[in-house]
Structures are given as structure tokens and as C-alpha cells.
Structure 1
């Protein structure tokens, strides 16, 4: 299981928010520990009350609720969600997420059945914590709905589960503002269709974070209700077509009805340039499930085995295409943040480093919006432990925040780990 944290720098860079995102990967999932270290729940906490009344039809759903639901509850509590908000999010999780997470691990804690791409150990749920301005945090999670027959001849690409899950949400109007125009477009162009002949990728993953098929659901738990996003993996279809992931993503974007309004060509040109210069790997395309005219965004994720500040600045400015605007403070913050985790790393990571170690970026575009670059770092390769990650993060924040969010996040990690 992975618990991510996301830091928003509220100063402006390139006219938009500057973000840095990190994965802090538990070396041992909670369900593999001989004894759990979670604090004993208080009897009147939302988690405890729901846990006493909820019953699940399958032992698998029961497992995921008991193990991951408890983690989720701790994050909500420490992030300052009110009891009413905790009830709302936990009940949604119990009814619409836990039953979709597939088979429980075996008696040794090993994943059974479909292996999900979002976490290092292939478990299907990924929690995250976003720092906002002031004493505010937003909890988020992403997961892959898994069908009972995923990975078998009945459903070799796990294509049915996400569509069924979305249909259920629409029928019950569970996510206000949900719009699937871009979801339908990009899944149609980026994912292999059921009748597509598979000759090059029949029995293998493309690489460690690209599954045989590819949709992961994400929910940002805003206090006003969830905002839904989708992440789509282009690896399999690109491999079968004999083109690169980036070429497939570029084709899909250029075929959008809103293509002209996106003003995306400077980004697509830079991604070609960065692929030639740094060896960018285009791993994921993300979308907001909102109407395009209501602010939906497209996100293109890339990464490369480079760690220098010059690499970072080149990627953030699209090779000089985006000028820095009112950004001295934000750039200084980001340099310090980057160096907090990468200062001791070689300029280019060795060839045997795992793909997840490569620092990367994701770029957001939307109709009438400026291109916005974001930094992405997974510190597991560079840090000795989760405690080391927390220590570096606390040191960075010590001169930049005076609210209690760092204390709350650290307490949540201590509760869980």
C-alpha cells in the first residue's frame, strides 16, 4: 500500500499553482504485520460505529474494509474532517470502493489475482494527503476497480469493472457534476478494444507501473463532495501498434473536439524534445471527469532518470517556452524541496534503478487554461525509511509553515505504520 502526500506551493510559478508530489511506500503492508500498531479506536468514532453495523456480502470486501478502511479513517480524522464528513466519506468507501478491490491477499499477505499498477506491491488502493494553504488538508485516494474474472479469459484486461462502477455512480447520482465525455474519448483512443489482436503483449506487463489494461479511479475528497478523476495507461495499445506511448497520447489529444481551445502544442512539442534530450517515459494520461467547459483538465505524466536542478527547471519551463512569472520565492521553495530528497543522488540514476525512482513531471492543460507543470518525486529509492521521509519533510516545512498540519500528518503515519 502507498500513502502519498502532495504539497501545494501557493506562490505562483508560470502563472499557476506549483505542486510537488511524493510517494511514501510502506515497506510492509499493515495486513502483513504480526501485530497492528493502530491506536485503539474510540467507541464513538465514526469508524467504530460504522464498523459495528456494516456487514459485507463477501469476505474479500470485509477484509478491505477492515484493513484499509481503518487507515482511511485515521487520515480523515487527522486531516480535520468533521464527524459528519468522516461518516459521509467512510460510508461511500464502504459501499462503493471496498467491494471493488478484488480478492483479499492470501494467508501470507501476497496479492492474489489481478495485480494493480498504482502501488509498489500491487495492492489496489492508494491514499494521499494534500497540503493546502494554511491549516487545511485534503485526503484523496485512487483505486482500480477489479472484476471477479480480471486476468482470466473471461476478462483478460479487466475492462468491465470500471465501466460498471461508473454506471452505478451515475444511476445513483453519487458524484455531482460527473461528466464522461473525455473518459469515453480517451479510453476509446488509448485502451485496446476487446477485439484487438494481441501479439506483442499477451502475457507480460509493459513495465513495472503499466498494467495489461489501464484505468485507475481517483477521488479528491473536497469538503463540498468528491471530485472524480481517471488515470489511463497507454502502454499496451502503443506496444501493439508499434508506436511510443507519447505518440499514442498525442494522437488522442489532437483528435479531441476541444483541441484548439487547449492550446497544447507547446507542451506536445516539448515532450518530443524532452524525450530526445532526457529519455522521457510517458506513463499515464489523467483527466478530470467534469465537463470540458467547466474546467476539466488533462494531465500527461512523464519521468526520466535525471536528478539535477537544471533538469527540473528545463522541464518546468518547457525548455524556455514558459516564462517565469512572479516566481522567485516559489522557485527557491521548489529547489529546496527537490534538494531535500535528491541532493545526494547522482545526476543520472544508474540503469538498474527502479522506474519509480525517476523524478518526473505532470503537465495539466484545459480549455482556455495555461499549461501548468507539476513536480513528481518518489523518495523511497533515496531515503532509508518512512521515518527518514518524514524527517526531511519536517525540516523543509520548519521554516515555511506554522500550522499543525505537519504534526497531524506525522501522527497519522505513526498511527498507521
Structure 2
């Protein structure tokens, strides 16, 4: 299954961008999902889906690793992990579903539960490879597993058995405080006014591929908030503050984010969409708070990244690079950067940010995602613009440009 070009571009730009699920009112959809789901798994599905996922996604993963300059040994190692642990966790392959509707993952807009990406760092001209997944159980969406909670539990348990560097304390904390688990609450029993989203997804996993696979977990807390009749800001704040008892800087840094959200005008407040953490043994683990804002001018981006003046002023070299990337990827003239982007009504329109907080600092570190999907001129123009930005900084694939690599995956 070759991912469409625009998916590759969008994923490489934003590493995580939530997707619009163009569906009917949630309450009817959720009940329909449960009614149409199979209450017991099929032996045929279970036996053949992993190999189909590996043939489709695993093959593309190998190609991306090769293009990024990974050695044959590392390529084989990461492909084996994907085939052995990840592919069996992706649910029923679409080829086996026929006309039936499976679990609609919020990971991508065609509901594929995997996204692959290259990531360039300042320290290397070649990228690293990462991928994100939503584990899907064979009974996901049924009354046995209404919010698809079991598959991620099972996969993480398997990974823990074979990894010596996993640290799951924060994962367990966030799973308890940000997710609705098992039969705790049924989605169709929560009013649509409580949840301004049309998807059921609650947790994603991501793997940064170095010598070994580094696990990260992503929590979508809207269902937990709805089940408690609280805002996501309140639920996430309570979760962070309970960790801050032993790590005070976490609470101080989060308060800066919360103060900024509260200071924004009604109707213009960013909303918290995701909380993530790394699950690798570290002396200074991090938490990332993802916000989405529907203010789309470059000036509003700069203001949000600075939390309305609460953080250290962004330096001129960063601002220059940000404007350059903004114009190249979105096809905007430098004279128009003060204007808002065209209005979009999609659930994932606007600008996505994250703010990283750590025990070692009382200030969050910001990052912005360029919204290529909704505002780029075309897949071709977005890829060409990003490739130009990378090449000006000496960033390429092993034997070709970013543009050439994406085109070959298409």
C-alpha cells in the first residue's frame, strides 16, 4: 500500500497531524460502529492480516530506511520488529474487510492506522525514520472493546518483555488519568456536546528508529474529559499537577501554557488535543502538550509559540527560517505573511503546536507544524517547497533529494 504523496509530505512536515473524519453526527456513528462490529474474531483475519500489513507498510518502511542511509543490518532489524510486533497489532487488513467497515483510525484520513516519516535534525544531513501507529484489536468498536483499549495494552506488554530500556511509569500514569479504559464508559452514552470530535481513537504509539526502536506514547484525552464532564485543559492540568508533586517544574511550565489559553478571547482559545511522553529510560524525560489554534496568520503563530510573551523572545534567525518555510511550503508571498490563511472548516484545520515540558526546566519549549494538507497549493508544490528548504541547509536523502524520494514512494 503506497501512501499517497500528500500523506508523506504532510507527515514529514508535522510528524503528527490529526485527521478529519468526514462522518455524520457522532452519536449515531458510534452506535452504528458497535452494531456492525464483529463480536468474535475470525481465525482467517487473525492469520493473514499481519502478513498483508507487512507486505504493504513494512515494504515501504524498508524503502524509507534505505533512502535515509540505514545499514542493511539496521534495516533488517527494524523490519523484523515491524513484522513480529507491529503488523499483528494493526487489526484486520482492509483487503479482508470487503464491504464491512472496520475501526476508523484517526491516524490518517483514509483510516490507515500507520504513518511513516523522515525526520531531519540539526546535527545530521541525513534523516532518521520514525513511524506512528494506532494498535487495533480484532473486536475494536464492539461492545467487548468499544474504545479499542486492549490492543495498545497488549502491544506494550509484548514490547516490555523484549526491551531493556523501557520506562513505563509515566505511561501508566497518563493511561489512568487521560484515557477511558475498558468498559468504564461507552462512547455512545456520552452526549455529542461533550465531545467536539468525530473519532473514537484514544492512544497512538510512535517509534523513533535508531540502533533500537525508541517508544513514545500519545494520549487523546477528549473522551476522558467528556466522561468526567470537564474540559480537556482541566483534565490534563490535573494529570500534570499530580506528577508535579515530585517534579515541580512540570507544574510551573504547564501553568504558563494554561495561562496563555485562558488569556485568549472566547472563540479563539487553542484547545489541547494530545499529550505525549517518551517511554525510554532517561534522566530527564519529557512531556509534550499539543494545542490546536484556528488563528492562522504567521504573526499569530509567533505569538502562540511565545505564549503571548511568557517565554523568551524567539531569535531573529529562527523567525527568518520560519517565514521562509511558511512561504515555500504554503506558496505564500513574503508580503502576505501577515494575512490569515483561507478559512477551513475541517476538524483538523488551523495550526498545531506542541510545548515540551521537562523536570529540568520551568519553561516549555515550543514547536509548530506547518499545515500543508489544508493550506498548501498542491502535493507537488508542497513537496517542492519543503525540498528546497531542506536542500538550502544541506539536508537530503542518501542518494537523492527529499522531493525525489517522496516521488519514488508514490
* Residue of structure 2 equivalent to 1:119: 108
Contact 2:150–2:182, Cα closer than 8 Å, also in 1: no
Cα deviation code 1:6-59 (max 9, x no counterpart):
88xxxxxxxxxxxx6367999xxxxxxxxxxxxxxxxxxxxxxxxxxxxx9722
Q: Distance in 2 between matches of 1:300 and 1:413?
A: 29
User: Relative to structure 1, is the Cα distance of residues 408 and 23 closer, same or farther in structure 2, using a 3 angstrom cutoff?
Assistant: farther
Compute the TM-score of the two structures, normalised by the length of structure 1: 0.80
* Residue of structure 2 equivalent to 1:271: 261
* Residue of structure 2 equivalent to 1:101: 90
Q: Distance in 2 between matches of 1:366 and 1:277?
A: 30
Mind listing any 5+ residue stretches in structure 1 that lack a counterpart?
8-19, 27-55
Please show how residues 119-268 of structure 1 align to structure 2 within 5 Å. 119-133=108-122, 134-173=124-163, 176-198=164-186, 201=189, 206=195, 211-222=199-210, 224-256=211-243, 257-262=245-250, 263-264=252-253, 265-268=255-258
User: Relative to structure 1, is the Cα distance of residues 71 and 109 closer, same or farther in structure 2, using a 3 angstrom cutoff?
Assistant: farther
Q: Please give the secondary structure, in 2, of the residue aligned with 1:319.
A: helix
The correspondence for 1:61, drawn from 50, 53, 64, is 50
What value does the CA root-mean-square deviation take over the aligned residues?
3.0
Mind listing any 5+ residue stretches in structure 2 that lack a counterpart?
20-44
User: Relative to structure 1, is the Cα distance of residues 200 and 101 closer, same or farther in structure 2, using a 3 angstrom cutoff?
Assistant: closer
Please show how residues 293-372 of structure 1 align to structure 2 within 5 Å. 294-324=283-313, 327-342=315-330, 343=332, 347=340, 349-350=342-343, 352-369=344-361, 370-372=363-365
* Residue of structure 1 equivalent to 2:23: none
Compute the TM-score of the two structures, normalised by the length of structure 2: 0.81
User: Relative to structure 1, is the Cα distance of residues 360 and 110 closer, same or farther in structure 2, using a 3 angstrom cutoff?
Assistant: farther
User: Relative to structure 1, is the Cα distance of residues 274 and 3 closer, same or farther in structure 2, using a 3 angstrom cutoff?
Assistant: farther
Please tell me whether residue 280 in structure 1 is matched to residue 267 in structure 2.
Answer: no
Cα deviation code 1:296-350 (max 9, x no counterpart):
111111112222121111111111111226x221221012212334437961653
Contact 2:69–2:398, Cα closer than 8 Å, also in 1: no
Contact 1:200–1:240, Cα closer than 8 Å, also in 2: no
Q: Distance in 1 between matches of 2:371 and 2:99?
A: 23
Which protein is richer in strand relative to its size?
A: 1
Cα deviation code 1:355-413 (max 9, x no counterpart):
22311210000111341000012311222432221111123334333655693433332
Q: Distance in 2 between matches of 1:58 and 1:322?
A: 52
Which protein is richer in helix relative to its size?
A: 2
